[in-house]
Structure 1
């Protein structure tokens, strides 16, 4: 990691949440399946939901209704269907958020090492604000991060780089010494557009694609490899 910054530690490190810090797919899948069953559809299970996570709750619900990643060409649904399904999903996920989730191995030792070097830490996620804070608290990760930029903090989400700019400014960091850490092509593209190095983890959610081929500066199986 330090070779990305001429042998120094980064000034600021920003982290995606779902699939990078926390395995939240079991909770998301439970809420999605409950929504599908409540609307007369068949549940899809955690494996398929893992491949749909990453673009925020609204897109996740649309993919579930369509039954596939490309919701625009899948099973059609109306705007009313979507709004009803989104409400059902939010209601269930509010109760499920954090119940079945777990922090990935290697995350806390890495965060501890960064804090020991006075690195500023923030979360940059497409997850709605209403679910981000509670999940970080339930996972006992909230105390590491001074800033969380969520999917509804700004008018845009990753892969737009604006969330990264916003987080660095809020942390008082230096863009020239900022590191992005994520699990998907969204994180990689956002970092590249912001002009910052990016580390990708192999264990997360990348829509079923091989993260090694997505253009990250470093790809790891565990964040402790960066130490």
Structure 2
């Protein structure tokens, strides 16, 4: 999708996908666990779960170490993608997720999906959400060299719609989302649906924490996703 080139000042609401809008965190955990085992790495699922939200370029450093031989990285990532793809047709958005995107757009936000997932995974989630009429742009992990918790994807998402960090909000579910947003200079609203605790999200610097997309939708006008500034 081409970057926006207009001159008007735009307000952007950026949304993570996995664990934020669609119930996929534990599917990714299982797929990575299986992929790692196929390549001889025994990593507990609890450790994998805590790393979900990082891009494939970061998660292997986290799980099997930056000093590893990287010769298997591509095949590990491919194995994860193949194992996860089995679930594409079964993906389900969280209650209120699509309506949250529509409500944000109705309040003047330019809605952007800011994900480090592969293009195929993003496409599958967009089909599940069925809210393309309000989605102005989307990122995928291949858009940048460094994914979350680096700020690059957040900055790329803003660039795609011609928005600045001081007129944007990010919605995510992990400490990696909060770190990436903070390093890019915008606040992050966090949801509990990815399985990270409220205390961890608050400690990481979340601007607000909600149970799920439905709770954020109900309270949208008093949240950081209330009507954007000028």
By the TM > 0.5 criterion, same fold? yes
* Residues in 2 aligned to 1:197 and 1:154: alpha-carbon distance in whole angstroms: 21
Aligned partners of 1:43, 1:208: CA distance in 2, in Å?
25
Name the SS for the 1:23 alignment partner. coil
Q: CA deviation digits over 1:151-204, x for unaligned, max 9? A: 220222223333223222321334332111111222222222222222111222
Judged with a 3 Å threshold, the aligned counterparts in structure 2 of structure 1 residues 153 and 139 are, in CA distance, closer, same or farther, namely: same
Equivalent position of 2:155 in the other structure: 165
> Which of 84, 87, 90 is equivalent to 2:78?
87
Match status 1:72 vs 2:72: no
Give 1:226 shift.
2.8
CA distance in 2, matches of 1:141, 1:195: 27
Moved more, 84-93 or 109-118: 84-93
How far 1:12 sits from its partner (Å)? 1.4
Of 162-171 and 123-132, more deviation after overlay is shown by 162-171
Distance 1:99 1:209 in 2: 34
Alpha-carbon distance between aligned partners in 2 of 1:208 and 1:72, rounded to the nearest angstrom: 28
Question: Unpaired runs of 5+ in structure 2?
Answer: 1-9, 222-230
CA distance in 2, matches of 1:174, 1:36: 39
Query: Alpha-carbon deviation of 1:77?
Result: 5.9
Q: Distance in 1 between matches of 2:41 and 2:151?
A: 36
| Structure 2 residue 173 is the aligned partner of structure 1 residue 183 | yes
Cα deviations across residues 75-124 of structure 1 (Å, max 9, x unaligned)?
x964344443333222222333x344321223223222112223100011
Find out whether 1:53 has 2:52 as its counterpart.
yes
Quick one: structure 1 residues 105 and 42, their matched pair in 2 at CA, closer, same or farther if it must change by over 3 Å?
Answer: same
Q: Does residue 1:115 correspond to 2:108, yes or no? A: no
Question: In 1, distance between residues paired with 2:41 and 2:107?
Answer: 50
- The separation in 1 between residues aligned to 2:74 and 2:151, in whole angstroms, is 28
Return the offset for 1:125: 1.5
**How many Å separate the matches in 1 of 2:31 and 2:63?**
20
Name the CA shift for 1:58/1:173 in 2 (closer, same or farther; >3 Å).
Answer: closer
Distance 1:120 1:20 in 2: 18
Matched, 1:102 2:92: yes
8 Å Cα contact 2:151/2:180 also seen in 1: yes
Aligned to 1:129: 119
Cα separation, 2, equivalents of 1:163 and 1:209: 25
State the secondary structure of the residue aligned to 2:142: coil
Q: Contact 1:180/1:198 (CA < 8 Å) preserved in 2?
A: yes
Distance in 1 separating the partners of 2:58 and 2:161 = 29
Unaligned runs of 5+ in 1: 1-9, 64-68
1:6 maps to what in 2? none
**Secondary structure of 1:132's partner?**
helix
